[in-house]
Amino acid sequence: MFRYEVMWESHDEFEAMLARTWQGAGKAHTLRELHDKLTSLAGSLSLWDTQTFGHVRQELKALNEELDRMRSVPSCVGPSHAEIKVVERIMELNYREEIMWKQRSRIMWLSAGDKNTQFFHLRASQRRRKNKISKLKKSNGQFTENEDEMGAMATDFYKTLYRSEGTTDMDRVLNTVPVKVTAAMNEGLLAPFEKEEVKIALFQMFPTKAPGPDGMPAHFFQRHWELCGDEVTAVVLRVLRGRMIHQYLITPVLCSFQKSIARRS
């Protein structure tokens, strides 16, 4: 599954490559076109990651082995030019590895600090174990570990939870609810969404939490808003204003604006 990596941004060629890829895909006018454009971009980024960026941990291992070999030479009296270059590359890769594990760990309360890759790695691993459901208790009190059976149980649970049981005599209930929304407040709630509201809603999201099926976290849109902001805003406004049915839910973008509707109240 594709996931946008924040550490890619540390590469000197990344910004130029991203701009060429985005602009070369043409301008998206509909939600379908934006969905397809992000999907195409994900494929290009994955290819660039493999061919240009490289595998951080594998390269780190190879460089550390090379550095040990250089320093084990008996005739070595000081760091050579080649050794200095290797050390500089290791420092760069250590920084990228820290960004990688920090993104995976989703630590909200640690925004900056010294390198502690092991800590971030453990947090990411703990979160993965914690989020895994290994068994469920059936109605007869017995437990099951069968994935198909657990999937069916989860589906039935939420179908039952959100199924309406019907209502009776609702007017009697509604007549007891005091009116809290004034005419002025209602006018604000019904006002059409504006361009600036789109950006505000998106930039209120935590950058690297919960990317959607497209693999793009809010950070991608926040960091590259000058590049993609106008297209994203135009498409989202068409959806929110009822001019387009959103068969393709571009997360986290549209989810954030649907939440902004609730915040108006």
pLDDT at 74: 72
Distances, alpha carbon 6 to alpha carbons 44, 93, 161, 216, 241, in Å: 16, 13, 38, 10, 32
pLDDT at 100: 66
pLDDT at 16: 93
Beta strands in the chain (DSSP E): 136-137, 143-144
pLDDT at 112: 43
Neighbour-count burial of 223, counting CB atoms closer than 10 A to its CB (0-12 exposed, 13-18 middle, 19+ buried): middle
For 98-109, how does the pLDDT look when each residue is reduced to its tens digit (9 = 90+)? 766 666 665 444
Checking if the pLDDT of 254 tops 90, the result is no
For 37-95, how does the pLDDT look when each residue is reduced to its tens digit (9 = 90+)? 999 999 999 888 887 776 656 766 777 777 777 767 776 666 777 777 777 777 776 76
- Find the farthest-apart pair of alpha carbons in the chain and give their distance in angstroms, rounded: 94
Give the count of alpha carbons within 13 A of 23, CB side only: 9
Checking if the pLDDT of 115 tops 90, the result is no
For 161-173, how does the pLDDT look when each residue is reduced to its tens digit (9 = 90+)? 888 777 778 888 8
Q: Which of 71, 79, 124, 70 is nearest to 97 (CA)?
A: 124
Instruction: Give the pLDDT band (50/70/90) at residue 185.
Output: very high
Query: 173 versus 19: which is more confidently predicted?
Result: 19
Amino acid sitting at position 130: K
